Chain A
Amino acid sequence: MQSNEPLRLSLSNITKRYPGVVANRSVSLSVKSGEAHAVLGENGAGKSTLMKIIYGAVKPDEGAVQYNGQSVQIRNPQQARALGISMVFQHFSLFDTLSVAENVWLGLDRTLSLAQVTERISAKATEYGLDIDPSRPVHTLSVGEMQRVEIIRALLTEPQLLILDEPTSVLTPQAVDKLFVVLKKLVSQGCSLLYISHKLHEIRELCSACTVLRGGEVTGVCDPREESNASLSRMMIGAEPPALKHQDRTPGALLFEARHLSLPKEDQFGVNLVDINLQVCAGEVVGIAGVSGNGQRELLYALSGEDTRAAADSVHLDGEAVGRVGPHQRRQAGLHFVPEERLGRGAVPSLSLSHNMLLTRSEAMSPSGWIDMQVLQAQAQKIIQQFNVKANGPQAPAQSLSGGNLQKFIVGREIDAQPKVLLVSQPTWGVDVGAAAQIRSELLALRDAGCALLVVSEELDELFEISDRLYVMANGKLSPSIQRKDATVAQIGEWMSGLWEPHAET
């Protein structure tokens, strides 16, 4: 114990209230210099608010902050960066219309030119193996790529205290290992880490201290390496997450198929789809692994019917060629889809939950197109109850729900339609542990009812948990499929880099 050296960061009795909720109640936290400190908790436990307070993006109502032994009031992120505090946000703070380099430039001091910034980005990117083109506009990046930009932006400030909010959710296992090498190096150089995650094995690998939050309050401070998953879960959610029951099943008839699906990219930063072949059978969950930005987005657009440029017979739904048919008709033929973006695509933010039913459901609509509001309300209410969605009734606007609850609603809306085939993209991205477990078990229940499921996810753990069979996507191509029980994380990780050819060719 180096008791002489002041703590890198010490928070005492931080309280932050928002209208209607207390995000943090009397939270204390201390981080030593050169310590990797985990902050563990469900979504909505107040982790993000606490980090934003440290980063100066949010002002606490009560409490004191000490940094390197000095009492400080961090008024804004610029001041935080001047102190050597850097943060990688879970929700990206990037401007869509600007390029990667311009976005990074905004957060740095003004003495550098854009060309210098571009150069430094490329240097950092190579150093840490974070592949990114600095000249690309941000709106063309996938979620995973945006997170890479955030990580690079934080590293460029050479921080003393680096805050990372769920940074690994979009990385391949190999890239996670690489990132951890970087982070461990930073720690050995004396940089302190605040590492927010719900992945217990990561926390144990990286961190030597852990503060657990639940409902805005600290429920435990421990050394994660000395705790079991069960004890950490108990601190985090007050109970252990329910285990998924998973038995091997024999899949039924072939319901959904892509045959030699090739599609040139829609915009210059998209990905070309090259000769995609995939099959999904009734009563089977098929997973597609891969780092985002490798064509998943384009593939899902083509499969769901939002992109109808593909050849008609390149997509088959229940024996029919549907490649040229739009989403509405595919839905009527039994294909439903849960998109990756909840707000703005899966749901209209400002409209009520009941109105959002109408995006994909037409039970409340007469053949002439007349909407029966009572049927609609009842329908939304049923989903709210059945899927345990925390919402202020069917009239609540979609944007008033937390990410997890809105995802439960959208997944519920599609499951309730009793689809023959369900496509799901990132089913639990940014969703708390409890909701994620619920969504996964609902998906498995749907499979057991005979639905064909195709799940695209960046979280390998999740795919291994729910899939029967796996594909991997890389550079717009799809690997051959592999039974989950035959797959290993290392092998899938290798395939994520596109290294499955040629021996496994079917």
Chain B
Amino acid sequence: MLKLELRPQASEFWRYASPVLALLITVALGIGLFVLLGKDPLRGLQMFFWEPVKSAYALGELMVKATPLLVIALGLAVCFRSNVWNIGAEGQFVIGAVAAGGVALLADKETGRWIVVVVVLAGVAGGMFWAGITAWLRDQFHANEILVSLMLVYVADMVLGYLVYGPWKDPAGYNFPQTKTFEAVTQIPRLMSGSRVSVGLILALTGVAAVWVFLFRTRSGFAQQVGGLAPSAARYAGFSSRKALWLALLTSGGAAGLAGALEVAGPIGQLTPYIPSGYGFAAIIVAYVGRLHPIGIVFSAILMSMFYIGGELAQSRMGLPKSITGVFQGLLLFSLLACDTLMAYRLRWQSGRA
């Protein structure tokens, strides 16, 4: 029979092999799912793993979706490594989008191009503020940050709903719950014509480098991680746990807010009730599949982006429900959690009983 045996120390190999194995299992389960639904599994896989990369345009779209996931997951990596559990990046994303949208709405025909910078900064500030509420409640009252941040997601949705159904509704919008389309000057500059990829991608990749440097080459980054791994050691070293809490939440909140600004002033171009797209939740999976490591997160963000695009394609071309994306996300997360067992344990075949 198969037996799990504790390893003397966690396996470095499986740390990186586990996400790959999890992906293979997800694919295998996906094939089974397609067969059960009576669809051609090859075509299904094609939707998810070939269509999103087959042309320059498709690759561009892949990057458009990967950018917000990457940005949010980077922030979450810092947060989770500090042992602070911000589950509400989705809410910080929404408030970031609202703040950025609010600034964008102030622009008119005469406004200069500088407004873009203010739009982005407003998004960051909005996300930080929303995460700051969680940090403050945790700091002052020891409120559980998991619950608080999660609940604030729904509050953020309400705030957005109030604005687009109410004061910010476009008077010329035939009563649709949406703001007017932002002025062109507020648009995040695109990298090239013919593709929706914006400078947001550059910002995200800069973020990868910045987070790597912060985590592995600076004292604050080290302090942050020690606080997560061994709180007593952090206290012994004299690293402040309050500072770590605030830094973790403000970083991840700011990142989520930035992603919100990039979305709303980028591909979307106005505020609608459909801003909450699940990026904030998907980014949690992205962060973990990427091993909370900035480089790993690049790959997992692209993978998750494939799931998003593949899900949309499967919906439009194969008549599968849209929730297939969520199913794939869930399969990947569960496979990963299962495969992570192999980091701490090895499988051994035992014949009979010893």
Contact = CB atoms under 8 A, between A and B. Distances in A.
A329 interface: yes
Contacts of A305: 238
B8 interface: yes
Interface string A360-385: 10100100011101000000000000
Interface in B228-244: 229-230, 232-233, 235-240
B8 A18 contact: yes
A427 interface: no
A503 B218 CA distance: 55
B338 interface: no
B8 A326 contact: no
Interface in B188-225: 216-220, 222, 225
B9 A345 contact: no
A459 to B, nearest CB: 22
Interface string B284-326: 0000000000000000000000000000000000000000000
A346 B238 contact: no
A345 B219 CA distance: 18
A294 B225 CA distance: 33
A346 B237 CA distance: 8
A19 B240 CA distance: 39
B219 A348 contact: no
Nearest to A355: B222
A350 B237 CA distance: 16
A346 B233 contact: yes
Contact of B237 (A327, A329, A341): A327
B15 to A, nearest CB: 11
B217 A348 contact: no
A326 B238 contact: yes
Contacts of A331: 238
Interface string A14-37: 000011100000000000000000
A471 interface: no
Given A59-B354, A358-B222, A369-B219, A351 B229 contact: yes
A359 B237 contact: yes
B9 A359 contact: no
B226 interface: yes
A360 B237 contact: yes
A344 B9 contact: no
A371 B217 contact: yes
Nearest to B226: A348
A355 B8 CA distance: 21
A344 B238 contact: no
Tell me whether chain B's interface is mostly helix, strand or loop, or mixed: helix
B231 to A, nearest CB: 9
Nearest to B229: A348
Contacts of A341: 232
Given A59-B354, A346-B233, A359-B237, A400 B9 contact: yes
B24 interface: no
A373 B215 CA distance: 13
A348 B354 CA distance: 37
Contacts of B236: 304, 306, 327, 337, 339, 345-346, 359-360
Contacts, number: 74
Given A59-B354, A355-B222, A19 B229 contact: no
A365 B219 CA distance: 7
A397 interface: yes
Interface string B55-70: 0000000000000000
B268 interface: no
B226 A370 contact: no
Contact of B9 (A59, A351, A370, A397): A397
Nearest to A396: B9
A306 B218 contact: no
Interface string A416-439: 000000000000000000000000
B80 to A, nearest CB: 15
Interface string A316-349: 0000000000111101000001010100111111
A19 B8 CA distance: 8
B147 interface: no
Contacts of A345: 230, 232-233, 235-236
B11 to A, nearest CB: 12
A122 interface: no
B10 interface: yes
A344 B237 contact: no
| Range class of the B interface residue count | 20 to 34
A347 B233 contact: yes
A399 B220 contact: no
A350 B232 CA distance: 14
Given A306-B236, A349-B230, A350-B229, A20 B220 contact: no
B219 A306 contact: no
A370 B238 contact: no
A328 B238 contact: yes
Contacts of B220: 369
Given A369-B218, A369-B219, A399 B9 contact: yes
A331 B9 CA distance: 32
Contacts of B222: 355, 358, 371
Contacts of B237: 327-328, 358-360
Q: Which of B225, B236, B354 has the most CB of A within 10 A?
A: B236
A345 B220 CA distance: 18
Contact of B233 (A329, A359, A365): A359
A414 B232 CA distance: 17
A20 B238 contact: no
Given A18-B8, A400-B9, A371 B238 contact: no
Nearest to B354: A59
Nearest to A337: B236
Q: Which of B219, B230, B239 has the most CB of A within 10 A?
A: B230
A464 B232 CA distance: 30
Contacts of A337: 236
Given A19-B8, A304-B236, A328-B238, A371 B219 contact: yes
Contacts of B225: 351
Interface in A196-211: none
Interface of B: 7-10, 216-220, 222, 225-226, 229-230, 232-233, 235-240, 354
25 contacts: A19-B8, A20-B8, A305-B238, A306-B238, A326-B240, A327-B237, A328-B239, A346-B233, A346-B236, A347-B233, A348-B229, A351-B226, A358-B222, A358-B237, A360-B237, A369-B219, A369-B220, A370-B218, A370-B219, A371-B217, A371-B219, A371-B222, A373-B217, A399-B9, A400-B9
Interface of A: 18-20, 59, 304-306, 326-329, 331, 337, 339, 341, 344-351, 355, 358-360, 362, 365, 369-371, 373, 397, 399-400
The 3 closest A-B pairs by CB, nearest first: A328-B238, A327-B238, A369-B219
Given A351-B226, A369-B219, A400-B8, 15 more contacts: A304-B236, A305-B238, A306-B235, A306-B236, A306-B238, A327-B235, A346-B236, A348-B226, A349-B229, A358-B222, A359-B237, A360-B236, A362-B219, A371-B219, A397-B9
